[in-house]
Chain A
Amino acid sequence: MFNQTLTQIGAALRAKKISSVELTQTYLDRIATHNPAFNAYVTVDAKTSLAQALAADKLLASGSAQALTGIPIAQKDIFCAKGWRTTCGSKMLSDFIAPYDAHVIEQFNKAGAVNLGKTNMDEFAMGSSNETSYFGQVRNPWNEKAVPGGSSGGAASAVAARLCAAATGTDTGGSIRQPAALCGITGIKPTYGTVSRYGMIAFASSLDQAGPMAKSAEDCALMLNVMTGFDERDSTSLQREKEDYTRDLNKPLAGMRIGLPKEFFAEGLSADVGSRVQEAIAEYRKLGATIVGISLPNTRLAVPVYYVLAPAEASSNLSRFDGVRYGYRAPEYTDLADMYEKSRSQGFGEEVKRRIMIGTYVLSHGYYDAYYLQAQKIRRLIAQDFTDAFKQCDVIMGPTSPSTAFNLGEKGDDPVQMYLSDIYTIAVNLAGLPGMSIPCGFGDNALPVGLQIIGNYFDEARMLNAAHQYQLATDWHTRCPQL
């Protein structure tokens, strides 16, 4: 049952083969058994989840169920959910009970889905290994010595270990796609502005975007149908017609032009990852796609640009944590300034403090033009590279991450090496484009490899089509670790 698609689970619920309460309890039992090993969940609240399941069963009985009604979904602990502890992986919010629902949570509630629990993550979504969480590292279900990726590492681990039917994530520089790749699951970061950021704790507001993480492209399409939509409470939410992201899943791929950026296959890419990606491309050829060589010449600048812009926005966003209205306050202090400084120093972890420091520096007087403004100008060059590339192709493909999952502790002491592991994903956020990762085999160490698919603005349905057709022809997405 744990390997069934959302469509199959939904059908079983509607046919009364299983109730939502039974299904939810089965997942809760599985979490109780396996979560101690993986630490994928930070908060589980069986009583609340089962109450939601009971309500869903009533909807199912009345015949007014929607696609996800009664299905247990894991929520990244970055989304405020009313009455739920919402920590963002930080000591700063370790006791924070959210007083309202994020738009994403509202959407799942309206759909009748069950909130199965809150998943672990890098603190304030800053990290690529889930090692910066205040609540401890998450382990990769394929190998407990390996990282699950980050920042949505708990979500990726939970989906891979089948500890939920599907999960939500957020992606500022690769935080959905990189953990999806490292844990062998499917995840999509939609076009910036497609999913409301209301109630999603901010990291870098011009880059943050929520999306689904699931077992397949088809499941991601169903999740996206629920998560997207205009929300006036997010000033960057786009006013667009509601889309059905499943509409193109079954289109044949004949004639689809796939662009391969030469910069994604150069030095720095592990040989095993490169081979698996090339094999996936060969499969796409068999499916009728045409392969086009393209160039994204400013790729190497994406990491430096990101590590100016994201910390700059973070230093501003995280200034709200001052120990006054909510969050951690130091137990002892002498005056107001001392209270601010001690509360922030004790409440934030090392990586968060590091990024606040970078951001404060690049925005400070005398350095603004050299760093922040220069980074914004190069951001335009990077976005323009994609605009030019999409004149020659329909989607772009390449590796999601330069290597398979690295070991816990391996890059912990070297922030620069950790930052470079996001080299293929970051440019997509800078441009605001949609990107996804699908499993395409295993590396030399038997850990999963992810294929990245990048689409033009609002081209999620086409990307999901490409992903789904590949998943019909291959079975990598059905592989899961033996627990």
Chain B
Amino acid sequence: MIPYQPHLYKAFTMSLSTADVQKVARLARLAMNNTEIEAARVQLSGIFELIAEMQAVDTTGIAPMSHAQDLSQRLREDIVTETNQRELFQSIAPQVESGLYLVPQVIE
């Protein structure tokens, strides 16, 4: 096996900026303070260095493989198969009232 040699792939790597990491954290709905953002930036840059090895591979004409089995999706009749278990499911919710899930007010 060819050993992993990061220096060969540096050309394809771009190191992440603080703004990149902040943007991703926002998209992922993860609250992070400045210390956590910087720690994530360093670690993610290392991981992207590993991933960058892919960029050198010529994949012209190769179809993407999205799944382990190249099968079409199975279809079924559009009928109700589940029984209503609202009370059971809501019994494990953080906050419910009158059969509704409660979240902070969104509309004034």
Determine the main DSSP class of A at the interface with B: helix
Q: Which residues in window 53-107 of B have CB below 8 A to A? A: 53-55, 57, 59, 62-69, 71, 73-74, 76, 85, 88-89, 91-95, 101, 103-106
Residue of B44, B57, B88 most packed against chain A (CB within 10 A): B57
Is A461 at the interface (CB under 8 A from chain B)? no
> What per-residue 1/0 map shows which CB atoms of A119-146 lie under 8 Å from chain B?
0000000000000000000000000000
Min CB–CB distance B90 → chain A (angstroms): 8
- A306 and B21 CA atoms in complex are apart in Å by 21
A326 and B63 form a contact (CB under 8 A): no
Knowing A324-B93, A383-B65, the reply to whether A416 touches B31 (Cβ < 8 A) is no
Min CB–CB distance A337 → chain B (angstroms): 7
Find B24's partner among A333, A360, A383 (CB 8 Å cutoff): A360
Min CB–CB distance B14 → chain A (angstroms): 10
Complex interface: chain A residues within 8 A of B11 (CB): none
Min CB–CB distance B2 → chain A (angstroms): 6
- A162 and B60 CA atoms in complex are apart in Å by 51
Q: Which residues in window 211-233 of A have CB below 8 A to B? A: 232
- A419 and B93 CA atoms in complex are apart in Å by 35
A375 and B54 form a contact (CB under 8 A): yes
Q: How large is the interface on B (under 10, 10 to 19, 20 to 34, 35 or more residues)?
A: 35 or more
Count: A-B pairs, CB below 8 Å: 174
Chain A contributes a number of interface residues (CB within 8 A of B) equal to: 77
Find A301's partner among B40, B54, B66 (CB 8 Å cutoff): B54
Is A353 at the interface (CB under 8 A from chain B)? yes
> What per-residue 1/0 map shows which CB atoms of B35-59 lie under 8 Å from chain A?
0000010011011011111110101
B29 and A344 form a contact (CB under 8 A): yes
- A239 and B28 CA atoms in complex are apart in Å by 36
Q: Which residues in window 158-195 of A have CB below 8 A to B? A: 192-193
Knowing A342-B31, A378-B54, the reply to whether A266 touches B1 (Cβ < 8 A) is yes
A380 and B63 form a contact (CB under 8 A): yes
Complex interface: chain B residues within 8 A of A380 (CB): 62-65
- A376 and B67 CA atoms in complex are apart in Å by 9
> What per-residue 1/0 map shows which CB atoms of A63-96 lie under 8 Å from chain B?
0000000000000000000000000000000001
Find A333's partner among B52, B53, B104 (CB 8 Å cutoff): B104
Knowing A300-B1, A325-B89, the reply to whether A374 touches B57 (Cβ < 8 A) is yes
Find A345's partner among B31, B44, B54, B67 (CB 8 Å cutoff): B31
B68 and A354 form a contact (CB under 8 A): no
Enumerate chain B interface residues (CB-CB to A < 8 A): 1-4, 20-21, 23-25, 27-32, 40, 43-44, 46-47, 49-55, 57, 59, 62-69, 71, 73-74, 76, 85, 88-89, 91-95, 101, 103-106
* A-B pairs, 10 with minimum CB distance: A432-B68, A376-B64, A329-B94, A192-B68, A266-B1, A341-B31, A377-B59, A380-B65, A377-B62, A360-B28
